[in-house]
A and B are shown apart, each in its own frame.
Chain A
Amino acid sequence: SAVISQKPSRDICQRGTSLTIQCQVDSQVTMMFWYRQQPGQSLTLIATANQGSEATYESGFVIDKFPISRPNLTFSTLTVSNMSPEDSSIYLCSVELDRETQYFGPGTRLLVL
């Protein structure tokens, strides 16, 4: 398995501001994924981030709202831009290991006021 950390673990933000979430993994991985989990809901995939290429976004998610960086094989960031209360969610990153299994970080709990 992999050890995945996220920063911050939680935050309270004002509407109209932006927050950058960091995801760090203890081994080199090709693919990283970002998910959103709205209150009481299941996880929804936002985008897939490969090192050295543009992230691939799922339907309903756009780069201007959720820009992603993937500067190396152990790190990625997700920015939630121009936040509104509807962006209040848990944001999770995950990594693919051994071409078989995804492992998830602990999540970042975001509350937008």
Chain B
Amino acid sequence: DAKTTQPPSMDCAEGRAANLPCNHSTISGNEYVYWYRQIHSQGPQYIIHGLKNNETNEMASLIITEDRKSSTLILPHATLRDTAVYYCIVRETSYDKVIFGPGTSLSVIP
């Protein structure tokens, strides 16, 4: 079973920040938080991952709470092309399995 819980769906206005929450209350000390997204039946796309520090790349920012029991993926300026299912995944690195939950279906609205 997936180790994370996410809201099933969210809406975001185009141009605004999209904040996608994820709960992972049973995360262990050596597990990372990963985010992927899947745009309409394409293969999942890696977005970002982190252990305990906040991370930022060209796609998004990842904010992890101090107790590491939850995190938020931030898309700073959502566009229509960001409409997708977003998956929050907890896993160790070094070839651990990626177990997908149902994810959050994000709709970016004009």
Interface residues of A (CB under 8 A from B): 1, 4, 30-31, 33, 35, 42-45, 48, 90, 92, 94, 96, 99-107, 109
Bits for B80-104, please: 1 = Cβ < 8 Å to A, else 0: 0000000100000111011111110
What is the total of A-B residue contacts with beta carbons within 8 Å? 51
Question: In the bound complex, do residue B49 and residue A100 qualify as a contact, i.e. CB atoms below 8 Å apart?
Answer: yes
CA distance A22 to B93 in the complex (A): 26
Q: How far is the CB of B58 from chain A (nearest CB, A)?
A: 13
CB pair A96–B49 under 8 Å, yes or no, is no
Residues of B within 8 A of A90 (CB): 41
Assess the A106–B42 pair: CB atoms within 8 A: yes
A30 to B95, CA, bound (A): 9
* B110 beta carbon closer than 8 Å to chain A: no
In the bound assembly, the distance between CA atoms of A83 and B90 in angstroms comes to: 33
* Docked CA distance A94–B95 (Å): 11
**B44: Cβ under 8 A from any A Cβ:** yes
A-side interface mostly: strand
Contact A96 B95 (CB under 8 A): yes
Additional A-B contacts beyond A99-B95, A107-B42 (17; CB < 8 A): A35-B100, A42-B101, A42-B103, A44-B100, A45-B97, A45-B98, A45-B99, A90-B41, A94-B43, A94-B44, A94-B98, A96-B95, A100-B94, A104-B36, A104-B45, A104-B46, A107-B43
Distance in Å: Cβ of A72 to nearest Cβ of chain B: 18
Chain A: minimal CB distance from B43 (Å)? 4
**Chain B binding surface, main DSSP class:** loop
Number of interface residues, chain B, beta carbon within 8 A: 21
A43 touches B42 (CB 8 A): no
CB atoms of B100 and A43 under 8 A apart = yes
* Measured CA separation A1–B36 after assembly (Å): 14
Smallest CB-CB A-B distances: 6 pairs: A104-B43, A43-B100, A42-B100, A100-B93, A104-B44, A106-B43
Residues of A within 8 A of B100 (CB): 35, 42-44
Chain B neighbourhood of A100, CB < 8 A: 32, 49, 93-94
Q: Which of chain A's residues has its CB closest to B85's CB?
A: A42
